[in-house]
Every structure is written in C-alpha cells, then in structure tokens.
Amino acid sequence: MKPYHHVPIHECHEPLVPLPLPELAVVTPHPYVALGAPYGDRSPYWLRQTVVEALRRVQVALQAEQPGWRLQVFDAYRPIPVQQFMVDYTTQDLAHQQGLDWSQMAAAQQQALLETVYQFWALPSPDPKTPPPHSTGAAIDLTLMDAQGLPVAMGSPIDEVSARSHPDYFQAAAAEHSQFHVHRCLLRQLMTAAGFQQHPAEWWHFSNGDQLWAWLTTQQTGQFTVARYGCAESSLRSA
C-alpha cells in the first residue's frame, strides 16, 4: 500500500463530465485506446466536474502567460480494467527492453520488475478504499502545446519509467537542457495554483480531490484533508 491509501474517502458522487474539447487539446489517437485497452463505453476524456472546471482556469492562466499555448491532455479517466491492462503492458514492455521474457522470468525477477512499475503505475485495486487515482476521475496526465500546435519540450515522454520522469530531474541540468525544467515548472505552477497536486515522481500527473491529492495537501499544510472522490464506477452505480 502507498501512504496515501490510508486517507479516508468521503465520496461526494459528483458526476464525470467530458473535457471541453477543443478548448483543451488531446493526444490523438488516445495512446491506450490504440493499444487495445478495454474502455468499453467509457471515455478516457472524462473527469469529475469540479476537476474540469479547475482545468479551464488553468487554460485561461496559461494563455495569459503564453498566448496561444494550450494544455494537451494525454490521459484522464481510466477504468480499473484499463489500469490492469496498462500495468500488464508496461511490465511486459519493460521486460522486453531488458531482453527478458516475462513468462520465463523467476518469481523474484518478476517481483523486482513489478516494484519498478509500481513506482509509476498505481495498483489496479478493486478495493473501494484504495482506488487507483485515475479511476476516481480526479487525476490527469497532461503536457503543454505551443502556439504552433507543437508539444513543448519537457525532457522526457509521458509514461517513461525512468528517473527523468521526476518533476525536478532537470533542475541542475546543463544550459542546453534548462528549458525542460522551466517548462515543467510552468506546468506545475499553473496546475497547483488551480488546486491540483503533482505526483512526486511524474512531471505530467496531477490530481484534485483523490487520496493522493489529500495526502499531499495534508503534508504541505498540516491540515488533515480527506479525499472527496473514490472509484468513479462505484459512484456511478450508487448514484
């Protein structure tokens, strides 16, 4: 279990709503849909209503800082079966990168690889007390696009399983790489000003209202904070 899994969830049953497109840009085709992830009739471009409203404020603030720039959404809502699919895919892909065959690896090797994956991917837990952040409809993976519609250089791709994914990895970088840190800081500044919290290990991941958000808020403010969003599927079924 992660430390934030101990945070209580006081589900508010707020609906999932579509992201305001094309006000916000999206990665097309959606990367996990293209891999065959089982979304069913759910959309990866949904979030809780308050989270969408906060994103709109970020877009306005970004335009004030950098006219013509837009947020580009990589991924948002992720049903638990999709979370499981992507954990399995990432694990096997990482094994392949290391010249290994997952099915032929010893149990200890598999466990070590999974521990690496779970530094970046949440456990696809069906337990309503420990939902994956993206499955709550409160978490989003995103980057920036410039006025020409091109992705802004961030130093590493979204979902890269490496130290380069850490938000401050390029803080002490040489001059030719300093722009990566500047761009990451701009994204973080805008998102946190709108009430989001950044994942400690991922420059692209932000959330607003889930357990990770609540845990980070408590650490920063000293004021005990609970989560307002649990698993979105459970909320939809009980609404």
Does residue 42 sit in helix, strand or coil? coil
List phi, psi (to 5°) of 97: -60, -30
As given in the structure block, the two tokens for residue 196 are 């989001």
C-alpha distances in Å from residue 27, one per residue of 100, 151, 196: 30, 10, 21
Tens of pLDDT, residue by residue over 145-165, are 999 999 999 999 999 999 999
Instruction: Calculate mean pLDDT across residues 203-230.
Output: 98
Taking the C-alpha atoms of residue 24 and residue 140, their distance in angstroms, rounded to an integer, is 13
Owning domain of residue 41:
3-238
Instruction: Calculate mean pLDDT across residues 199-215.
Output: 98
* Residue positions annotated with a catalytic role: 202
Task: List the CATH number of the domain containing 178.
Answer: 3.30.1380.10
| 116: exposed, middle or buried (Cβ count in 10 Å: 0-12, 13-18, 19+) | middle
Q: Residues 46, 163, 171, 57: what is their CA dihedral angle, to the nearest 10 degrees?
A: 0
The whole-model pTM stands at: 0.94
Tens of pLDDT, residue by residue over 9-62, are 999 999 999 999 988 999 999 999 999 999 999 999 999 999 999 999 999 999
The residue among 66 and 236 whose pLDDT is bigger is: 66
Question: How many domains does the structure of the chain reveal?
Answer: 1
